[in-house]
Amino acid sequence: MRGLMMDCQLTIPAILRRAEMFHGSVEIVSRQADKSIHRYRYADMIKRAKRLAVGLKQLGIGRGDRVATLAWNHHQHLESYFAVASVGAVLHTLNPRLHPNDLTYIINHAEDRVVFVDRSLLPLFEQCRSRVAVDRVVVMGGGPQVEKRPDEAMELEALIAGADSELFVYDDIDEHDAAAMCYTSGTTGVPKGALYSHRAIVLQGLTWMVADLVGIRQRDVILPVVPMFHINAWCLPYAAVMVGAKIVLPERHLDPASLLELIAGERVTLSAGAPAVWLAVLQHLDREGSNAIDKKGTGIFSDAGPVEKRPVLAGGKYPRPFFRVKPLQTLEKLVIGGSAAPKVLVQGFQERYGVTVLQAWGMTETTSLGTVCPAPADSDSPDAPYTSRTRQGVPTPFVEIRARGDAGLVPWDDETMGELEVRGPTVASGYYKAPEGTSCVTDDGWFRTGDIVTIDARGSVQLRDRSKDLIKSGSEWISSVALENALMGHPAVAAAAVIAVPHPRWDERPLACVVLKPGGTATAEELREYLAPDFAKWWLPDAIEFVDHIPRTATGKFLKSALRERFKNYRLPT
């Protein structure tokens, strides 16, 4: 017997329709390329998104077509989130930190028909343009004009201006249809595409609202520091629009002073991003003290604050500026993901600035949040809250977890390690156009994450290691195998192994161990220059050590555990 319930679809246009009805007056603030501030309201964003959707239809974009964005965090990118989904097309966010060769492969593999490109990223896209088959390039974002741009490029503002929002209709879309896609970084072969359904994105938005996890509210002011090209900024923009919260977008300006200025000036209450960004902010705050926002001491000023510090002018008006705002006086929560948040970060924000850090775990294939750390366990130990918050936490609603070792599923004793496996309505069941024999799912329907974890009796996950020797720099993966294979292509190199070594800001950075051929000569800088044409700059090893030999296993594989032990105290050059 079926329940007698209305069959309402969970879709992104439904989020837009709700925001239009109830949240039109809420503000959206966006930095621009020149660091100026753009302000408008939900009603303006929705009207522009509707016109953009009509414009896309006029370009021939419809159900299932892929529309790519190569862009930073700003209001025009947010408009595309809703416009593309509203015509039944698939938003494909491209990572501008990837090498042009990877971008070329991804655009062609996804069969993108239109690419929205920030003006500042046109030089990067130009390195791909002759090798990709896209119908149209749409330029958005501010900044100076570039000398070279694709002949068929058109301005986003022209596309919107030429469309009539009265022609927009809320089409019937199946919640199981694809709404967005994002590619992995290709660290275990070529990049792989994960498709996200409307339903998965809506469920992720609701997950952000769960009180015992993050608990975002309409009164929050939300600053997504995580890039909008990375798993749709962890679906946080969708959640913010769903709940009707004020949104603050930083464009590409993620330096501590710029972020602190936005947090203070816009009275941000919640933000989310990778540990590397927030470690830099914490260090900046600790170093600069009261001048953390402006080294000249002028600070950031606001209409709120102690009345006694407001000098009154004739007519009862208050002049601006009139008082200094503390950098983090409104910030309540930081959601950290992408890699483990160190204890010094969690403790520093909580004890010195009163900000709660929530650790989260997820991946491209989980549509964002898979686990979130629980509230601190009750304990007499002063370190207990910080120890708890450095765990990856418990699974979000409807996500199930288990870990598998060599002998099968491991017990939840927080000691036995195994590879984390997950399943749920927001977890990928496969990759887009994946070759046969490359399934990431077990026979009984669980996704293999590749992360090595322990799980405690409460179901809280602790990340212990990573499979396949990946290196995580900031929130981005680097493939040691790809670097090794390239290094061994150098005529002077006999063998090369790349391992992760600790870094105070980026968590991990690659160290290359190289054996030269008899009589071969090469310097570390020569080898870096040899790698540079084929890899993004941030992939290049920070250091190269020349060794006599690389230990191997009985099967001939590099014994990287021995290298890690040898270089466990290695200090990278600053």
The Cα–Cα gap between 244 and 461 comes to 31
Told to judge if 330 belongs to the known catalytic residues of this protein, a careful annotator would answer no
Among the listed residues 184, 269, 366, 371, the single catalytic one is 184
Active site residue 517: no
CB burial class (10 A; 0-12, 13-18, 19+) of residue 525? exposed
* The two structure tokens encoding residue 223: 């600053």
DSSP state of 300: -
Confirm whether 538 is a catalytic residue: no
- 307, exposed or middle or buried, with CB in 10 Å at 0-12, 13-18, 19+? exposed
- Cβ 249 vs Cβ 224: under 8 Å: yes
Bridge-based pairing state of the strands 461-466 and 447-455: antiparallel
Selecting among 477, 506, 539, 560, the annotated active-site residue is 477
- Please name the residues in contact with 269: beta carbons below 8 A apart, sequence gap of 6 or more: 219, 220, 221, 222, 330, 331, 332, 333
C-alpha distances out from residue 50 to 13, 29, 166, Å: 10, 19, 9
DSSP-assigned beta bridge partners for residue 502:
508
Of 208, 472, 484, 539, which one is the catalytic site residue? 472
Count of other CB atoms within 10 angstroms of residue 126: 15
What does the buried/exposed string (b/e) look like for 81-116 if buried means 16 or more CB atoms within 10 Å of the residue's CB?
bbbbbbbbbbbbbbbbbbbebbbbbbbeebebbbbb
List Cα–Cα distances, 430 to 11, 104, 389, 440, 449, in angstroms. 21, 22, 31, 6, 12
Instruction: Kindly name the residue from 261, 365, 419, 476 that is annotated as catalytic.
Output: 365
Burial class, 471, CB count within 10 angstroms (exposed 0-12 / middle 13-18 / buried 19+): buried
Q: How far is CA 169 from the centre of its chain?
A: 31
Beta bridge partners of 155: 139
CA-CA-CA-CA torsion for 346, 200, 203, 231, nearest 10 degrees?
30
Q: Is 426 helix (H, G, I), strand (E, B) or coil?
A: coil
Q: What's the rounded Cα separation, in Å, for the pair 340 and 377?
A: 19
Q: Would the CA dihedral through 198, 202, 208, 213 be positive or negative?
A: negative
Strands (E), 314-387: 333-336, 356-363, 368-372
Closest CA to 218 of 76, 22, 423, 30: 22
Q: How far apart are CA 280 and CA 286, in angstroms?
A: 10
Is 438 considered catalytic here? no
**b/e burial code for range 236-261 (CB count within 10 A of at least 16 → b):** bbbbbbbbbbbbbbbbbbbebbbbbb
The catalytic residues are 184, 365, 472, 477
